[in-house]
Structure formats: C-alpha cells, structure tokens
Structure 1
C-alpha cells in the first residue's frame, strides 16, 4: 500500500471520482439490463400468447375438418409476420402434430418438451443451441380440439437490448470523459496550493529554510499557509537557538574533555612523583635504617637486644618491599622502558601472587608500537578491572586478550564471577565509585570505545578498543 501514499492528492481525488463514476455506471448497467430482460420476457410471453390465441381461434375448424393445408398456410403467414417467432406447432385433441413451421425436420425432443397440464394457457422456458425459447401453449376450445405452441426466441430482443446497453456504455464513457476533464481542472485548482505547500515543506525539510509558501485567497488554505510560514520562521529561530546551544554544549564538552585529560595527566604526574619519592627517598632511607640496625645488631653484646634489632630489621625490610611494590603499582618503570605488554605481564604476576586468582594473558606480540597515552590508558584499565574483580566478584579465573584489529588495539577482559547487573551500576553510582566511569573516560579521550556487560558464559566482560597512534621517536 506504499504506492498509494506516493500518489499526489489531486490524483487521488481524480481517481476517486473516476472509480465512483465507473461504479455508478456498473450499478446502472446492471439495473437497466435486469429491467430490459424482465420487460423482454414479459413482452415475449404477451406476444406469444396473442399469436397463439389468434391461431387457436382460426385453426379450430381446420383441425375438425382435417384441412392441414389451411393450417400450414395459417401458421406460415403468422411465422413470416413475426420475426421473433422461432416455431409454431399445432396439435389435435389426440396430441398429434397436425402443423408446424420447421422447414426441414423437427428438432429432437421438441414435441415432448412442453405438454398441456390443464385447460389454461401455459409458459415453459426451453434451452436450445440458439438460446432460450419462451414456449407459449394455448388450448384450442379448452383443449377439446387441440392446442397451439408458439416458441418465442430471445435472439432479436437480446440483440436489441445489447444495442441499447452499447449505447448506454458509449454515453457513460462520454460522461466519464467529460466528468474526468471537469474533475481534473477542478482538483488542479483546489490542490495546487496544497501541492505547493507540500513542495515547500519538502524543500525546508531538505535544508532550504528560505523557502516560503505562496499566499492564496482561499480563507481556509490562506490560514494554513500563514500558519505554515510562521512555523517556518519559528523553525529558523529555533534552529539558530539549537545551533547556538549545540555550539555551547560542544565547547563545554571540549572543555570537560580537556579538564579530564589534565586531571588524568596531573594524577599520573602525581603518581609518578610519589612513586619516585617512595623509590628514591623513602626506600633509600629505609635501606640505610636497615643497614644501621644490622651493624648495631652485629655489635650488640646483649643477646636480647641483638634479636630485637634483627626483628626490627626484618620488619623494615617488609615495609621496604611494600613501599617498592606500591611505587611500582603507582607508576611501573617498565611501562615507560619496555612498553605495555611487559608491564601488564609484570602486574599480572603480582596480582596472581597477591589474590590467588588464575589470570591467562593472550597477546599477539610483545612489541606493539603504541604512544605513551594509549599504553598508559590500557595499563590503568587493566589494573582497574583486575582490582574490581578481586574486590567485587568471586571469580577464580580471568582471561585477558590483547589483539590488533583494523588499526585498533583491543583488549577484552573476561572473568568467571557472578556477572554484573544493572543494580550493580546503580549501587556504584550511589556509593560514588568512579572506577567504571574512569575507564570509560580514558577510552573516550583517546577516541576509543568502552563496553562492560554480562558475558554469555557467565561472569563479566569488559571490552576496550582504541585507535592505534604510533609512538613518536
């Protein structure tokens, strides 16, 4: 039905008028045909009865004196005088045929096709190769002398009826053509402003906001055109406002991205500074303290003091290890020195040892050329994902897959925990946990995509894809 919607309104109106005229013509044709057919049947019966009664009256004496020649002349003259008479049959009181108008032979079955049932006039409809025959039977002297059958053919009346129907069809066609012409010009006048309005609306929809509909004199259409033009003016005003708001929004979005980028950069710089201070200053101070306690313990004469110094040294050594691990976690030097893959491997080994969770890493190559920002983003996302798995799931196995596809580096992290639900996101929002938001922002700032969802096999799946930018230098 889509093709109907593509038809213009004037064509729809014109088509409706034509369809209505054709339907009306069809109904009138059926009514006229039925009326003429009924009239024809009545006329045939009436004419046949008249002819049969006349022959019955004139042939009574001829039958009694058995003057068959006179009967033949009588019915022959009647047959010639009436073209719609197909045959005339005359029977005596013993139902023996004494006269007929068939030139050669009597058709088979015609004699027995209609026999008298009483002393009244009768009508029977017979079917023949030439069409229907109205067989009128009239008794002669109430049947005591015989009876007459006159067969009235529908051929000539039907030809006359068909000719009249043909005239009606021709007149209908002429009326339809005139009506179509009038309807066409009328609909053109009525629908031209509407079509102009549609064309203007299509042009405005295509982006040409300078178009305006032409003003018309018609009161109703004039109001519609006026309202439409005012709507177009308001549309320009609204579009300007929307464009201005959009520019402001884009500017705010740009400033937000810049702010987030600076915050992340400042955070990484602060992590690097703290990591360096922990490694260079705090670690060195603890190392010096450990050396001093070792010297004091070796020189101590009191056994109890010596054990105390050794115990304190071991505690300091443990603190030193934790500080060095913290320094590495804050900013692993291997990330800057050797790249993403070795840094991730190192972190996974530390994670497995700390949380006893099996982590399997799949990588295509250890040397994927990435810029520092992309490497750092992937490292932090991996770090945040593994931390969330350890804190918020009961997972025992994690699979990390890093691959390069269509100039994108993609990381997929899948665990076998209980899976993340919508309620988990709402709880994280209420508790102001920004881990997922931070991962998403890191990916977005680099033009990448971030997806977190419940895996089909259970657990949670995190997928991040970021365009590859070659590392400078």
Structure 2
C-alpha cells in the first residue's frame, strides 16, 4: 500500500462488520495488535454494534462521514476521531477509515458543529473523492437511462414481432409473462437511475424537483406541506444541486422516523446572489438540548443528521439545526455556489 503508507495518520481498510482488511504503516505502529482478518472491537459488544452501524452508513453514503471510534489493540482501548468513506473498487468494496487525534477525547472535541476543522489538505482530498463519486453516479445514471433504456425498447419490439408468429395459447401466455418481466426490469432500472441522479433535476431544475419531492412526501404520509422559492435561480453546480436534493430527502426521512406528532412541514429554497439556502421546518415534538450534537448522534447510532452535515461541508456550505422540546425542528443549509461544472 505505497500510497496509504505515505499518509502520516493511521489509515484502515475495513469490512462493514469491522473486520480489518489492510492498514498502513502508521496504523501498524499505533495499533500493532490489530491484524488483518480480525475485528478491531470485541464481537457482540456495544462497541461492535456501533462500529458496524457507522461502517454500514459509510458504505451507503455518497460522501465521507465523521465519527469517533473506540478500538481495541490487545488489552488497550483507544479512541480515535475518524473520517471514513466507501471505496468500491478495493478488495471487493471496503470502508477506508482515516484516523486522527488518538487518545481519550472529550465528546465536544469530535463535534464539527463546535467549529473543529480537520487539516485543509485532508479536506481537499475528501472533497475530491466526493466529487469523483458524484460524477461516477451521474455517468452510471446516464448509461442506465440511455443504453439500458434503448436495449429494453429493442427487446419490447422483438417480443412484439415474435408474438405475430405464436399461435398457441401456451405460447401467447409465455409472451405475456415476458412482457410483464420486461416491465418489472424497466421499473427497477428506472428506480436505480433515479437513486443515482433524480431525473427531475435534469428535466425541470432544483426548484421544481424539490417542490415535487415535498408534495409527494406529504401526500404519501398525510402531512400538510408547504414549499416556497424566493430569488432568481443561478446556474448551480451539479454537485450542489444533488447535495441540496439529497439533503431535503434525508430531512424528510428523519421527520418521518423521529418527529412524532408532526402535522406540518415547511421547505424553503432561497437564492441570494451566488448563495443558496435550504430551510426545512417541522412542528414535531423537537429534541432536548444537546441531543443533536454529532457525538450524541454517533453514540446513539443515528447518522442521518451527521451525514447531512458532512454532505453540506463537502460542497463548501454550512449546516445549522435548532430544536427544542415541543417546538419542532428547523434545519438550515447554506451554500455559496460556484459556476456550473459539467
């Protein structure tokens, strides 16, 4: 691992169950008893469950996520701050974890909301990885839409031509089954393409895509929703568009999961010159003070808000969230938008 060995901090390649695959020179020095093929925490422990939850979230996330890891090196228990990201083309798919700040840390030290910032060089690397991943998902979405869509259309035409030569009842029944299966394949490919890159962003732009998302979400859950757009939409960078769209998706998902008693959700998209803000408000039960700190969320295995903070940070934005018991929750993301990148 010559590239990883050049990094001064410990770097680990992990399976999502916490099994160590590879480690760089710095990790071998700081965690000498942690060997490839073994787990870094006692199996079945609370630490193992927390680690597996964090690594699984990293595997599903589009961007690196911050966390705090309590790892075991023989009889020693060590705490590291960490930034981790999914690397799909290494060892069949692993989480690359960049460790720093070893030792006993106060919980506040791991909370980006309190102003901590990792080194600029590390941030630049992680941001570049995020954008590369975004560009790859965009390419895959286009391939699914264009190439696979054409193939499905050709198959449908072929089945139609074949049907003219089938006269038996059994043959026609088989033709209908093939049509049905092809329709299911088409729907699944469309779903995957939308997950990679929502087509509404390309077809209608961010404002219309968010309005549709919010309206459909409210209708499906019986919650009153309101969407507002102010200002003139600039020519947004592609990664900014997808970040704000995914942020709104995640916020609505969190509301559905955790905001008991919610009856109204308001979403606003505001453009001010070259800046854009997304505001999501609900009238749910809210959260006690301190319950939304990164350290508390990671400890509880709740990574949705952690992921939102990281996602916004990787496109140069800021993220704030306010909540109090019985007063609902307000989420605000602000991003200064650069020129569009293709």
Answer yes or no: is the 8 Å Cα contact 1:455–1:461 preserved in 2: no
Change (3 A) 1:393 1:253: same
Quote the residue 1:98 is aligned against. Answer: none
Report the equivalent of 2:278: 411
Are 2:246 and 1:377 equivalent residues in the alignment? no
The 5-angstrom pairing of residues 313-462 of structure 1 reads: 313-336=179-202, 338-349=204-215, 351-352=217-218, 357-365=223-231, 367-394=233-260, 395=262, 397-404=264-271, 408-421=275-288, 422=290, 428-430=297-299, 434-454=303-323, 458-462=327-331
Q: Deviations over 1:237-295 (max 9, x none)?
A: xxxxxxxxxxxxx9951122112212211221221122123212333333333333344
- Which runs of structure 2 are paired with 1:152-171 in the superposition (5 Å)? none
TM-score (norm 1): 0.40
Q: CA offset at residue 465 of structure 1?
A: 1.9
Cα 1:296–1:376 shift into 2, 3 Å: same
1:277 partnered with 2:143: yes
Alpha-carbon distance in structure 2 between the residues aligned to 1:311 and 1:392: 42
* Deviations 1:15-37, CA, capped at 9 Å, x for gaps: xxxxxxxxxxxxxxxxxxxxxxx
Aligned counterparts of 1:330 and 1:345: Cα–Cα separation in 2 = 19
TM-aligned CA distance change 1:433 to 1:455, over 3 Å? closer
Please state whether the residue corresponding to 2:280 is helix, strand or coil: strand
Q: Which runs of 5+ in 1 are unaligned?
A: 1-249
The CA deviation at 1:327 is 0.9
SS in 1 for 2:119: helix
Deviates more, 1:420-429 or 1:300-309: 420-429
Instruction: Return closer, same or farther for 1:279/1:432 CA change in 2, 3 Å cut-off.
Output: farther
Match of 1:306 among 157, 172, 179: 172
Distance 1:431 1:276, change over 3 A: farther
Matched residue, 1:131: none
Task: Identify if the C-alpha distance between structure 1 residues 282 and 358 changes in structure 2 by more than 3 Å, giving closer, same or farther.
Answer: farther
Q: Deviations over 1:48-67 (max 9, x none)?
A: xxxxxxxxxxxxxxxxxxxx
**Matched residue SS, 1:439:** helix
Verify the 8 A CA contact 1:290 1:317 in the aligned structure 2: no
The whole-number CA distance in structure 2 between the counterparts of 1:280 and 1:320 is: 12
Distance 2:274 2:143 in 1: 38
Bigger Cα Rg = 1
Greater CA deviation, 382-391 or 348-357? 348-357
Q: 1:413 to 1:318 in 2, by over 3 A?
A: same
Please give the root-mean-square deviation of Cα atoms over the aligned residues, in Å.
Answer: 3.6
Between 1:416-425 and 1:294-303, the stretch displaced more is 416-425
Q: Give per-residue Cα distances to partners, 1:343-396, cap 9 Å, x unaligned.
A: 323434554566565432111156344344433332221122223334444545
Q: How many residues align?
A: 224
Q: 1:297 to 1:337 in 2, by over 3 A?
A: closer
Q: Which of 95, 103, 121 pairs up with 1:255?
A: 121
Normalized per residue, the structure richer in strand is 2
